[in-house]
Amino acid sequence: MKQLIIISLLSFFAMGAYSQQDAKAKGILEKVTKTTQSYSSIEAKFSFEMNNPAQKIQEKSTGSIILKNKKYKLNIPQLGLEVTCDGKTIWTYMVKSNEVNISNLDEQTDDLMDPAKIFTIYERGFNYKFAGESVDAGVPVYSIELTPQKPTGEIQKILIMIDKQKMLIRGANMTGKDGNKYNVSVSQFITDGVYKDSDFVFDSTKYKGIEVVDMR
């Protein structure tokens, strides 16, 4: 479940098509998307934290993601999770169990579960509004608040932070209806890296004794 939450929260950076809402927020999101689409690829390192004050739970992990069009590769070592997608097929590899699940990328799949749309931040399924300007660790940022248009689901509110100078996502905070609070903070961007298509294909022959579960 935690793996899905991380993927979902990363994907809150990307919401597809937008509607006419807060004009200032819309203008900022358009600039972020334009900046993002100007790169042939994006590699980002991030930290993830989950807190539940009532249950006194605090968990932290770090990871990285490489994006090239619809292709992506997500790695979260602390969770033993590697997710690879070539734009058509998704391989989810669990290190501890040495098992990979294979499934098709469904174009109708909820955007919140698709990390390939990270950093292309147009809103879909959320109302959004400009929430102000601040400084995060010495970096001036814009804040934009997202709230679900439909009351169903586990999400109550999302606050995304955008680097004013780079016009790229810097982080996001999500409040769940279950009382959990999630935070993703991007620590490093590498843009226009050169990656082959084969970099986004999982090769099970490299893993001795691996269990392959093909769900296509």
The predicted pLDDT at position 13 comes to 47
Per-residue pLDDT, 185: 86
Output phi, psi for 208, to 5 deg.
-65, 130
- Tens of pLDDT, residue by residue over 87-146, are 899 999 999 999 999 998 875 454 444 555 545 444 466 778 899 999 988 899 999 988
Question: Between 151 and 204, whose confidence is greater?
Answer: 204
Query: Could you tell me the CATH number of the domain that includes residue 111?
Result: 2.50.20.10
Q: What is the rounded distance in angstroms from the CA atom of residue 73 to the CA atom of residue 62?
A: 14
- Interval 181-193: pLDDT, tens: 888 888 888 999 9
What's the farthest any 2 CA atoms get from each other in the chain?
A: 55
Domain of 121, in residue numbers: 2-207
CA atoms of 151 and 103, how far apart (whole Å)? 29
In-domain check, residue 212: no
Query: What's the angle, vertex CA 133, arms to CA 24 and CA 140, rounded to 5?
Result: 120
Query: Is 142 inside any structural domain?
Result: yes
Checking if the pLDDT of 26 tops 50, the result is: yes
Rg of the chain over all Cα atoms, to the nearest angstrom:
17
215 lies in some domain: no
